Amino acid sequence: MSLHDLHRPLGDSGLIVSPLGLGTVKLGRDQGVKYPNGFTIPDDASARALLDQARGLGINLIDTAPAYGVSEERLGPLLRGQRQDWVIVSKVGEEFIGGQSHYDFTPAHARLSLERSLRRLESECIDLLLVHSNGDDLAILNDSGLYETLAAFKAEGKIRAFGLSGKTVAGGLLALERGDCAMVTYNLAERSELPVIEHAAAHTKGILVKKALASGHACLAEGQDPLRASFELVFAQPGVTSAIVGTINPQHLASNVATAAAVIKGYTAGLR
């Protein structure tokens, strides 16, 4: 089972994306991450095989960021000759230096960051550029001039759409009112940003879900499948465009795709 026939619009941005996206923090960084188990950053051959597998399973959305270590630098060569096959999401605002996150939401830094990302990704345009928030969403959107700068990047043709990877409901709502997309946390243990998803559904905006497979499944009854339960929760919301999954395990990736496809097709059949 694949996602090839399940691609959908990212709001009114003009982008068409798969309902699962591939997160790439594990291709570039193993410090300061919050995964329950340790992992080894895959070598180029393994990373290329993972990307090929994802594309073969119908995933066309890939999520990266300057804060993901060397993820962007690796993706440029790894995706060489395939740029037309991928919708690339990157970010501005957060840097990861010396094992620590540092934030800069000035317009000048955003332009420097974007130009660097374009060089690293060997691309003339980034499809979706998000603000990598530190949690102070409203101050970033209202006071920094950064969102206006992203709108200028779009007008210049350097990006196709923009939005916020935020941490608050108020920030997510404002980001959607002024932009194209919000990335929100939504999973079995954390549902506070549901109003942002509902707003997106009502106003034809894009929603990407991060941490869709977060731990915290203790509330499930014994014998329930946490993967299926997570995707049933996420894709029950018509406002969700895509969920980002960051696995580097080929078996997990195949299982994620098969489960998500079954859940989405089940919901689609139920609506007929």
- Report the predicted TM-score, pTM, of the whole model to 2 decimal places: 0.95
What whole-number distance in Å separates Cα of residue 196 and Cα of residue 174? Answer: 9
What whole-number distance in Å separates Cα of residue 209 and Cα of residue 241? Answer: 8
Nearest to 130 by CA among 100, 101, 88: 88
Nearest to 24 by CA among 91, 93, 85: 91
Which residue is associated with the tokens 């608050």?
Answer: 168
List the alpha helices (DSSP H) in the chain. 44-56, 71-78, 107-121, 137-143, 146-156, 169-178, 194-203, 226-235, 250-271
List the alpha helices (DSSP H) in 40-193. 44-56, 71-78, 107-121, 137-143, 146-156, 169-178
Nearest to 214 by CA among 244, 193, 246, 187: 187
For the chain, report the end-to-end CA distance as a whole number of angstroms. 21
- One digit per residue, the tens of pLDDT, for the chain of length 272 reads 899 999 999 999 999 999 999 999 999 998 888 777 788 999 999 999 999 999 999 999 999 999 999 999 999 999 999 999 999 999 999 999 988 999 999 999 999 999 999 999 999 999 999 999 999 999 999 999 999 999 999 999 999 999 999 999 999 999 999 999 999 999 999 999 999 999 999 999 999 999 999 754 445 556 789 999 999 999 999 999 999 999 999 999 999 999 999 999 999 886 54
Contact residues for 38 (Cβ-Cβ < 8 A; gap 6+): 30
Q: How many CB atoms lie within 10 A of CB 224?
A: 11
